[in-house]
Every structure is written in structure tokens, then in C-alpha cells.
Amino acid sequence: MKLSIIGTGYVGLVTGTCFAEVGHHVICVDNDAAKVKLLQAGGIPIYEPGLEELVKKNVAAGRLKFTASTAEGVQNSDVIFIAVPTPPQPDGAVDLSYIERVARDIAAAMTSYKIVVDKSTVPVKTGEKVAETIKRYCAAKVEFDVVSNPEFLREGFAVDDLMKPDRVVIGVSSPRPAAAMREIYTPFNAPIIVTDINSAELIKHAANSFLALKISYINAVANICEAAGANVQEVAHGIGLDDRIGRRFLNAGIGFGGSCFPKDLSAFIKISEQIGYKFELLKEVQRINADQMDRFVKKITDTLWVLKDKKIGVLGLAFKQNTDDVRSSPAIDLCHRLLKEGATLRVHDPKAMDKAKSLLPNVTYVDDMNAVAEGCDAIVVATEWDEFKQLDLARAKKALTHPIIFDGRNLFDPAEMEKLGWIYKSVGR
């Protein structure tokens, strides 16, 4: 099928590339001319495992193209996916101005029947507003359908998530677009759920909020484990084997971040308030998440006492492993807190250092993770990169003024670290 994707962020670029990979002809649209030029030249603006190779492969095959013209994308496709940002506003509500602008641009370019798909994460009722906008601004007065098709991609695993999805959710207001949407997703061999638009929009926010709840739950349990002398990893393993619960998202740490969970959680709370329900449970999820970082910083200050003029090595800047995304990163937040206390930092991340530099201009960036500890008073593990498990502990121990490590992601074994002579502080163990 002929598809266009408007927006080439994480969702748009991965979606368009994977659609091309299974045989569809895709035009990706972005209003950032420099980004389009980069993509046309074979580069990509983000790090996502496996993505660069797929982009190059499908561009070479002629199935994937890039343009800065929305009209070109609309006129050369049957189905148009909207994948533009939906950033949070100060009160937690979602800024839908990008969606509205794109809906107007689509309407202006339409001269025949189109299926317009909301791929961006949007509040319930957004599909209705998109339909109203297109109808209002479409001079050609042609027929169209608006569909909700929420994404469930995890940064760092997005290609796999799209190529092998758990499910595909399609929200429609009429039967007409359902067959085409099924055809688009048939190559992915996943269960397809066809529902009404409002339900589809709520599924996304409800899913992300529930996953955030699981993280805050296990972090709360971790605090109980510390007080009781238990091991949160053993507890998580024990409850995770129950197939009603599952082990995923039960990893204690310094809290969740990124561009999705905090935003979607706030949005779902706001959406609920607007329709008359106070979602106090999700407010508690937010509180526990914020408290988790406070507790971790307290561990550092309790151990090092005064942080002023202390030098600390930080491993990890991205909000999670396998990505260069530093938006709402707990690791960045932690660095800011340490700097505010007067510490100086040596930092390393396998992929995110370039993007972190505008947020953390006054730290020392170190290319080799094994050199981070040089001259430091302690090391902090802030992101769960697998590479960090291979840290040269003997070298780090010699480089530090005292062998202290604060493991915010529970990457190392406490008994082994004690045996090696480390003062080792982790989460919930």
C-alpha cells in the first residue's frame, strides 16, 4: 500500500521504516528541512538498534522516501499516519497544536478519499477533533476516515516491537477503513483489535500508566525490602513468576523517565479530571517515582556526607539503555541534583553524551567507561546499559579515592561486590 508518515521522530521514523520493510511504499514527511536532508543522505537523527540499517536498505530499494512537503505525502498515499509530538503543558494536559496543524495541512492537500490515522499518543476524543478539523478545512470536500492506531514502542527495542507486536489496536468510527488497516498490518502476524476510536485512544494511556504503576510498585516494595533486610530482586522474581503479574517492569531503581511514561501519566490524570474522575492512584504513582530519586540521593549524601568539592563518576545519561534519548532522564535529574550540592562530575554514556551536552554543560565527558572513576570519590550507575556490567572493577577501585559505588540499577551482585572490597549501595537489597 501507499502510506505517508507525518513526523520522523522515534515513532514516525521507526513506523515508516518497518512498514517499508514489509513491502509498503512509504513517504516520511517532516517540516525540519535539515532532518529530511540528513535522512535522504542515509543518516538518521536518533540511535535505535537496527534502525539505521533498515533505513538504508529500504531507501535503496525505493520503498522509503523523505520529504518536507506534507502535500506531497498526502497526494501520493492512500493512508496518512500522524506521528508528530504531543508535548505536555505545565498543568499536565497535552499540547495538541502540532496535531491540529497537521490536520489542517492534510485537509488542504486532500483531493480524494484518504484514511487519516492518529499514531501520536493523544487524549480521548482527539480523533473527533481531527475529523472536525479536516472537514472544516478541506476545500475539496472529499470523503475521509479518521482512525486511531496507538503505538506501543519501547525506545531501545522499537524495531523489534513494531516488527513483532503483541497486538495492533485499530479504532474506527465506521467499517470502511478497517479492511485497509488490516491489510497494512497483516505482514506483522499480530492479533488485531478493532474497536471504537475513544477506546483505542484510552488503551494507550491506560497501558503506559499501568506499566508506570508496576515500576512504582516495585520501587515501593524495594523500600520495604531495605527496611526488612530482604532482596527486592528475589521478591520480584517470586511474584513475577505468577503469570497474572509477569516479571517485566518489576525492576527496582531510581524511577522511570523518558518522553512517554511521565507525560502519559500526567495526561491520563488530567484527562480523567476533565471527565469527572480523580485518578488518585496515578497521583501516588507519580509521588513514589519522585520519592525514589530523593531516597537515592539521600543514600549518596549519607555515605559521602558533604558533596561540595566531591568528584563523582556517573555511568549513564540516557533515560534507559539502548537509546540516546535524554528527555526526562532520571540520570540527568540525578546529575543536576549532585551538581546543585556542589559535586563535580565525570560522566559516560555509550550513546547519549552528545545529546546530554546541552543539558549538562558543566561536567567532564569521558569516552571510556573504565576511565570515569579516575580521581573520583565514588561511582554512580544511573542507566541500565549492559556494557556497565563489564566495568573493570579492579581498575575503578584503584582509581577511586575510596571504593564506593552507588548502583541505581542493581547491575552488580552485592555479595560479590563486598567480597571485592567495595562499599556497595544498591536499591532494595
When pLDDT is averaged across residues 184-191 and rounded to a whole number, the result is 96
pLDDT > 70: what percent of the chain? Answer: 100
For residue 100, the model assigns a pLDDT of 96
* Cα–Cα dist 61/378, whole Å: 51
Q: Is the pLDDT of residue 422 over 90?
A: yes
Answer for the pair 401, 386: CB distance below 8 angstroms, yes or no. Answer: no
Specify the long-range contacts of residues 390-397, CB closer than 8 Å, at least 24 apart: 391/315, 393/417, 393/420, 393/422, 395/370, 396/370, 396/372, 397/421, 397/422
For residue 12, the model assigns a pLDDT of 96
Give the model's confidence band at 28: pLDDT under 50 very low, under 70 low, under 90 confident, else very high.
very high
Question: What confidence tens digit (pLDDT) does each residue in 327-368 have?
Answer: 999 999 999 999 999 999 999 999 999 999 999 999 999 999
**3-class state of residue 274 by DSSP:** helix
For residue 259, the model assigns a pLDDT of 86
* Cα–Cα dist 283/209, whole Å: 11
Q: Which domains does the chain have, with CATH numbers?
A: 2-190 (3.40.50.720), 205-261+268-281 (1.10.1040.10), 287-425 (3.40.50.720)
The residues annotated as belonging to the active site are 260
Please provide the average confidence, as pLDDT, over all residues in the chain.
95
When pLDDT is averaged across residues 272-278 and rounded to a whole number, the result is 94
User: Pick from 38, 5, 31, 35: which is nearest to 19 by CA?
Assistant: 5
* pTM exceeding the 0.85 threshold for the entire prediction: yes
Q: Is the pLDDT of residue 137 over 90?
A: yes
**At which residue does the C-alpha cell 499536565 appear?**
92
Question: What confidence tens digit (pLDDT) does each residue in 374-417 have?
Answer: 999 999 999 999 999 999 999 999 999 999 999 999 999 999 99
